[in-house]
Amino acid sequence: MNYRHAFHAGNFADCMKHALLVWLLRALARKPAAFHVLDSHAGIGRYRLDSEEAQRTGEWRAGIGRLMDITEGPLADYVALVREDGGYPGSPALAAALLREQDRLSLVELHEADHATLRATFRRDPRVATHRRDAWEAVRALTPFAQKRGLVLMDPPFEQPGEYERLTAAIAEVNRRARGLVQAAWYPVKGRAPVRAFHAALAETGVRDILAAELHLREPTDAARLNGCVLVVVNPPFGFEDAARDILAALHARLATGEAGGGWALTRIADE
């Protein structure tokens, strides 16, 4: 409840998560049938990089600030959406920008003030529903979707103990309730041990077809720093592996700090 994403909007982790998310949403839109997107930790949906919070940390300057001149290549679609937004679009704004008339978006945010802002932002869009409720309860309650196709995005702030366990349980539950849905789960990399344990726990759930897209700024030896991040994708659409490699490589080329241990990887946690 204490986490406010306005301080971190547009940082390198956002860029990685959102560039891959845009590709996943475009892939869902290839087919004419409607799809549904559920964002479990929606925040306020859209951020101002000239806000007091964003200016205080300045994290966006080492993230989206290094990408805004891109007009071609694997990051061009994502960056164009950011430019069109005029601020920094969080995952709700990016998803809303890519919805078609028949598609639907469910946004979940527990923080009272943030939910009020989120609701006001999307109140005129009939395709979007906002919910003030616990994310993990909402993931169970709002799946499966009537549309049968869709994506569940889960990106908790990892400020409370047990987030990896809750994320593992949620992925397994969504897979049980709606096996064909794409799932995308973001998490930070501060040390290696929690990531290894999380990947092992995912493999033990029996969920199939899981990929982990990883971006690292440095060797994760200082657990007090955000050294990298990972987006785990369940049921990745056709072409995701090749696209993710290109996106991760382009992000690293632009955002690398030159520190030892930086890089990117695409790892298969469970086979199809």
Residues taking part in catalysis: 155
DSSP-assigned states of every residue in 108-167: E--SHHHHHHHHHHHTT-TTEEEE-S-HHHHHHHT-S-TTS-EEEEE-----STTHHHHH
| Distance between CA atoms of residues 270 and 111, nearest Å | 34
Q: Supply φ then ψ for residue 61, to 5 degrees.
A: -65, -30
| Distance between CA atoms of residues 129 and 119, nearest Å | 8
| Distance between CA atoms of residues 262 and 249, nearest Å | 11
Cα radius of gyration rounded to whole Å, the chain: 17
Secondary structure class of 44 (helix, strand, coil): coil
Q: Are 216 and 264 in contact (CB under 8 A)?
A: yes
Residue 32: DSSP 8-state: S
